[in-house]
Amino acid sequence: MHGLTTAAALVATAGYALAAPSALVPRKTFQVSQIAKGKVFINGPTQIVKTHQKYAQLGATVPSDAKAAAAAVQSGSVAANPEQYDESYLCPVSVGGQTLNLDFDTGSADLWVFSTVTPSSESTGHARYNPATSGTLKSGYKWDISYGDGSGASGTVYADKVVVGGVTATSQAVEAATSVSAQFTQDTDNDGLLGLAFSSINTVTPQQQTTFFDTVKPTLAKPLFAVDLKKGTAGSYQFGYIDSSKYTGSITYTPVSTANGFWQFTAGGYSVGTSTTTSGSISGASIADTGTTLLYLPDAVVKAYYAKVSGAKYDSTQGGYTFPSSSTLPNFNVNIGGTVFTVPGSYIKFAPVTSTTYFGGIQSSAGIGFNIFGDIFLKAVYAIFDESQSTPRLGFAKQS
């Protein structure tokens, strides 16, 4: 999917009440397709640094090796090649009548955008939301997403019309950036993000705001959305329904804990290679995050995987595991809810470091504090983020 991991919401102070849902134009179901963008940042260390920064407020610390490696190359970019890399795919969203390409992120709960109140030095090349056209300022409301290294974004809040796939929220909270760090400025294809985690971690003060999904949820045929990410080509999101043409077999559901505001679940055993007979366990909590590029797992699992890859090693100059470009990577199999799902080895061959070395799509979650099933995994499944039951659940099925 996208080459840059997007910013996520910080865990907001407990006790804030959520703003009342905004006015809606009802529609029972809709689909929004992603679009391929021409340029992405393909860099393994940068992915690791951004993921750790994303969850810094939950205790994640950036590994020193990865930080040093990213600093050396963070401004680099390559032309996207959908045959080789997972390029950047963004979804067109109408915000106040202006079309912006936003990253849909199940690891955050803010809808924030580049805007005309963002300094030009920080927003050149981005499509910008102009709140003066149709927005209503929510006086005194602010948002601020910051990280351990000082990077982040902040700004003011407006109520405006937001349209996604034909569904309209006439008074959705739109967070207009007045300050954006260089990490976001550099990715000129990405005009902001649309958070799809739980509204409990929305960062707006003095009153948290609802996500777009929570706003439109009462009007949907079913209170759920499904994610169909693809390797090397555009995928799509379905809201309010499950598209049976997107998967084969049955859907396996697993309970979700909302305690931390994420789509958090428990993974089971795993195996490496052609055998889908799993053993051991993936310790710790796991989350499903469309806004994270890689698959982050416990050290023991990562080491077990790369032990099966010829020439693989932990490379301190890259801050992660690398391997010769000639290596054939084995599949990674994981048991979730009693069903084994397979990530093809070709998906784990993430991006080139040099002409002879690749950076791995599976890396350690040790510095994060929990496991992240990012796009490397999600491209292998059809994923359903479901609130149709008494408690939320995640569904996974094999892609068709």
Active site residues: 105, 289
Nearest Cα to Cα of residue 16 among 235, 208, 149:
208
Residue 386, token pair as written in the block = 């479901």
Residue 173, token pair as written in the block = 């909270």
Question: Which residues fall within 8 angstroms of residue 307, CB to CB, at 6 or more apart?
Answer: none
Nearest Cα to Cα of residue 184 among 86, 236, 108:
108
Tokens 């002879």, located at residue: 356
Nearest Cα to Cα of residue 218 among 239, 237, 234:
239
5 residue type, one letter: T
Give 142-173 as a DSSP string: EEEEE-TTS-EEEEEEEEEEEEETTEEEEEEE
Main-chain phi, psi angles of 398, to 5 degrees: -70, 135
Residue 277, token pair as written in the block = 């007979």
Distance between start and end Cα atoms, the chain = 18
CA gap 134, 95 in Å, rounded: 9
351 residue type, one letter: A
Nearest Cα to Cα of residue 288 among 211, 200, 383:
383
Give the CA distances from residue 63 to residues 66, 148, 250, 313, in Å, rounded to whole numbers and listed in that order: 5, 12, 39, 16
Judge whether 364 and 370 are in contact, CB under 8 Å: no
| Segment (H or E) for 120 | helix 120-123
Return the DSSP state at 275. -
Rg (CA), the chain: 20
CA gap 130, 309 in Å, rounded: 50
Residue 307, token pair as written in the block = 């032990």
